[in-house]
Amino acid sequence: MNTFAETLIAWQHTHGRHGLPWQVRDAYRVWLSEIMLQQTQVETVIPYYQRFIARFPDLAGLAAAPLEDVLTLWSGLGYYARARNLHKCARAVMEGHGGAFPADPALLAELPGIGRSTAAAISAFSFGTRAAILDGNVKRVLARCFGIEGFPGNKAVETALWTLAESLLPATDVDIYTQAQMDLGATVCTRGRPACGRCPVAARCVALREGRVGELPTPRPKKAVRERDGRFAVILAGGAVLLERRPPSGIWGGLLSLPELPEDADTATWVTTRFGLTVHKVERLAALRHVFTHFTLNLHPEAVLVGHPSICSEATTLWQPLDRLEEAALPAPVRKLLEQLTQPDLLGDAH
């Protein structure tokens, strides 16, 4: 019987994914795709990746760009710390590595936003380095095929998976093997309804043999999902909305968003006091629910119609035309909310 790696390499040639826009031996493009693919599916990433490459065809251009431009292109992709680290990493490579990504996975892993598995993937795909990856897809494949018990996020289980992943590495064709593991987990050994009948390693799969495919990998221990409520002022005037830049860290760090109202504040009084605006009308809008990884945010927006856009006295605020929202680095739920503001009876002369 062929080894695990040999079987996957042969399968990849015929059944794996080919022709993805980042499947080139270019460390910049591989790195960009690997960061975008963290916790995000290929189909979602492709259009974002293509827009990034069109705007920033090389590392130097990305490093020289303002962070706001990067966040604007990233808007809607989520997990915005990735975008901030992407920008930091580009500058770190320009300043510390002469503008070229190092081939050594250990050096790559020292860069912002690049962990051990991502570093190995970048090195394997770009330089053919013999290094093991262990992303979510690979953890699932290995846990099922080799019957690894325990939640993969547990330190001891993760260590065992790393040891196993390194022991399975082939002597050659590591880039093909790496892609094969990703593709197998993404297209065959999926979290729900895995296609075991099409799996090239079904004959050696412990989970399939023992009827435990649905049990492995062991799921994350359940925790109560925290709920948070937030009031947001949709301040409108002259066809524009007042936006405020969020602090660089925390929820939506560095993005433009709607001003957040204090829990018990009178909306009109707060807007007048904070921004010096004359309020004509306040009306509650439909609540919007947005699920993050660790909590759920219930957005309670209130439309606030004011006389006219005033000059923003704070450097962190600006008036954004509603017909040019695509130019602003907005969180997905805020963008969705603003794009729905089409009720003429509500907006009145705000347009």
Average the pLDDT over each of 129-138, 146-155, 242-251, 303-312 and give the range with the smallest value. 303-312
Instruction: Give the model confidence (pLDDT) of 6-49 as tens digits.
Output: 999 999 999 999 999 999 999 999 999 999 999 899 999 999 99
Greater confidence (176 vs 339) lies with 176
| Percent of the chain surpassing pLDDT 90 | 78
* Residue 247 pLDDT level (bands cut at 50, 70, 90): confident
Is residue 347 pLDDT above 80, yes or no? Answer: no
Instruction: Give the chain's count of helices (H) and strands (E).
Output: 15, 8
Per-residue model confidence (pLDDT) at position 349 = 46
Per-residue model confidence (pLDDT) at position 225 = 79
Instruction: Give the model confidence (pLDDT) of 287-332 as tens digits.
Output: 999 988 788 999 999 999 998 777 666 678 899 999 889 889 999 8
Domains and CATH numbers, the chain: 4-209 (1.10.340.30), 226-350 (3.90.79.10)
Length of the chain in terms of residues written? 351
Distance, CA of 289 to CA of 298 (rounded, Å) = 5
Distance, CA of 86 to CA of 269 (rounded, Å) = 40
- Compute the average pLDDT of residues 48-68: 96
Do the Cβ atoms of 101 and 32 come closer than 8 Å? no
Distance, CA of 108 to CA of 127 (rounded, Å) = 12
Is residue 129 pLDDT above 60, yes or no? Answer: yes
* Residue 345 pLDDT level (bands cut at 50, 70, 90): very low
Q: What is the mean pLDDT of the chain?
A: 92
Per-residue model confidence (pLDDT) at position 238 = 86
Distance, CA of 195 to CA of 187 (rounded, Å) = 8
* Residue 350 pLDDT level (bands cut at 50, 70, 90): very low
- Compute the average pLDDT of residues 187-214: 96
Per-residue model confidence (pLDDT) at position 351 = 43
Nearest alpha-carbon partner for 297 in 284, 307, 287, 285: 287
- Compute the average pLDDT of residues 167-192: 96
Average the pLDDT over each of 24-38, 149-163, 266-280 and give the range with the smallest value. 266-280
Is residue 90 pLDDT above 80, yes or no? Answer: yes
Do the Cβ atoms of 112 and 130 come closer than 8 Å? no
* Residue 79 pLDDT level (bands cut at 50, 70, 90): confident
Per-residue model confidence (pLDDT) at position 24 = 93
Positions marked catalytic: 34
